[in-house]
Chain A
Amino acid sequence: MGVRRIPSRFFGDGVQMAKQAIRSETGIKPYDVQRIRQDFPALNQTVYGLPLIYLDNAATTQKPQAVIDAIMSFYLEDCSNVHRGVHLLSDRATKKYEAARIKVCRFINASSEKEIIFLRGATEAINLVAQTYGRQNVGRGDEIIISAMEHHSNIVPWQLLCEAKNAVLRVVPINMHGEFQFDKYEELLSARTKLVAITHVSNALGSVNPVQDIIALAHLKGVPVLVDGAQAAQHIPVDVQQLDCDFYALSGHKVYGPTGIGILYGKADLLESMPPWQGGGDMISSVTFEKTLYNKIPYKFEAGTPNIAGAIGLGAAVSYLQGLGLNKIELHERDLLAYATEALSNLPGVTIIGTARHKAAVLSFTVDGIHPHDIGTILDQEGIAIRTGHHCAQPVMDFFGVPATARASLGLYNTRGDIDALVAGISKVREVFN
């Protein structure tokens, strides 16, 4: 089968089209970014006497007041343990914790909240699948397919599994734009393939992968697919039923929620067939020294007291995002990305790394003769927070032949003014080095 046609709206369409689309989709006023910024108290500060320009959203996002309030309210009023208590506070905590699961379920359109497992983050979600589904189903000589643009967290868990099972890790290459090479993927997929693990959006390049086609092709061969969504759900609407993915990993702090919380989505029948991962309280239905019976999903995979406040905060975050509308966020960010791409491309000596046609609002770049770390320090002095380094994607850096890049990653609250500040900041960098 061929690659699914990507709707033309994903191609470098202009600002006007995006604005029109916003108007036509909502039928009301366009996305009011200045009002939205007021929801984020951390944005309202100065660094070194200058207004903060926060462009490190792929590392973590700032939190809206609604998230901070939800966490605070739990600790102020409802703090107690979940699922086992007979008292009122435990009942309230349990209800809020389970309500958060339902909110996340709706956010990614899972068919049931029992398919949502609360974990520490996307990294832990991937490790869980590797250590349960992987250990159960991958054997000697079997193969796992990933891509060349994976974050280390979607490489190393599979390497650990392959090492333990004498299995083989296969890597789908990327092209010079940082795009997944679908034809190479078709060649690699074989009867030996036991799992495909692919990032939805590349953290270092911004490339959005054709995951729906990747999944459809894998399913033709009976191979399940894990999607690493750590960099996706904050930028684009995610519908796990439409994607038909078998597993989806999501990180709370990258979707404007708290740190230390994330989820694994898994299809119920798969989760039920998998052995537990960690043992402890809450993941059992009965324990004797002779035989322990495990709890039903999702609790089978939630050993010990979970991050209750974190889950509640994550629930508040996804409700906040749904209130704004992921479609509107996507359009706003696409406008910013187009604006920023043009502005940076016009700067002499600046090279954008990662020029996929279908991209999320992540801009990795280099400046001739100036190391990204120096760029980062000088921009910081201008109040501009970006990331520099290999972005936990060393194979990507090796592919492009750079030791590191500077990365500006945009979020729902960034403005064209932020991009103008970045452009001025890069000019300042060149000035210092001149």
Chain B
Amino acid sequence: MPDLRELYQQVILDHHKKPRNFRKLEKANKQADGYNPLCGDKVSVYLEVEDGIIRDVSFIGTGCAISTASASMMTESLKGKSLSEAELLFDRFHKLVTGDNSADSDVSALGKLAVFSGVREYPVRVKCASLAWHTMHAALEGSKDTVATE
């Protein structure tokens, strides 16, 4: 039986209660909306990208603890990253939460985001953890459609 504390780690609960960068970004030049029809989670991700570097990133929305904390911690980890670094981080994060242990998955490179490793034990919650990331990816790609995880 998976341990609930592995899923709901203190860091995650803290980001759920006090989400960081929870605001609209006035200077954003990349933005996308995400929606998880399963639980009604909605997230909008805003990015200010300059010379291929994410200068600032924020989000707003409503969601469960996992999706809110994931969005919050994503914004913290993306600030100052290049676009290619951001995509690489998304790839690693996705592998972490889906339990994909292939060669190029490097948990140590994820830093604080490694707290989401517990999600792999809860397949129906993978979408919660990855919604903000998929939305960020869509924003960088310039997609106008709402990202839906179903």
Contact = CB atoms under 8 A, between A and B. Distances in A.
Interface of A: 48-49, 369-374, 377-378, 381, 388-390, 394, 397, 403-404, 432-433
Interface in B31-60: 37-42
Contacts of B66: 373-374
B40 A432 contact: no
Nearest to B8: A432
Contact of B62 (A374, A381, A403): A403
Contacts of A371: 39, 63-65, 68
Given A48-B1, A49-B1, A432-B8, A373 B128 contact: yes
B109 interface: no
A371 B19 CA distance: 14
Given A389-B40, A432-B8, A374 B64 contact: yes
A371 B68 CA distance: 10
Contacts of A372: 39, 64
B42 A374 contact: no
A217 to B, nearest CB: 35
A377 B7 contact: yes
A108 B38 CA distance: 34
B111 interface: no
22 contacts: A48-B1, A371-B63, A371-B65, A373-B38, A373-B39, A374-B64, A374-B65, A374-B66, A377-B7, A377-B122, A377-B124, A378-B8, A381-B1, A381-B4, A388-B39, A389-B39, A390-B37, A403-B63, A404-B39, A432-B4, A433-B13, A433-B65
Contacts of A389: 38-40
A399 to B, nearest CB: 14
Nearest to A382: B4
B95 interface: no
Given A370-B65, A371-B63, A371-B64, A404 B40 contact: yes
Contacts of A433: 8, 13, 65
A234 to B, nearest CB: 25
Interface of B: 1-2, 4-5, 7-8, 13, 17, 37-42, 62-66, 68, 122, 124-125, 128
A403 B41 contact: yes
A45 B2 CA distance: 18
Contacts of B42: 403
Contacts of B62: 403
Contacts of B7: 377
A177 B117 CA distance: 41
Contacts of B63: 371, 373, 403
Nearest to A49: B1
Given A49-B1, A371-B39, A381-B1, 17 more contacts: A371-B63, A372-B39, A374-B8, A374-B64, A377-B4, A377-B7, A377-B122, A377-B124, A377-B125, A378-B4, A378-B8, A381-B4, A388-B39, A389-B39, A389-B40, A394-B40, A432-B4
Contacts of A369: 17
A433 B14 CA distance: 10
A48 B68 CA distance: 27
A381 B2 CA distance: 8
A85 B18 CA distance: 69
A374 to B, nearest CB: 5
Contacts of B1: 48-49, 381
Contacts of B17: 369
Contacts of B41: 373, 403
A390 B37 CA distance: 8
A397 B41 CA distance: 13
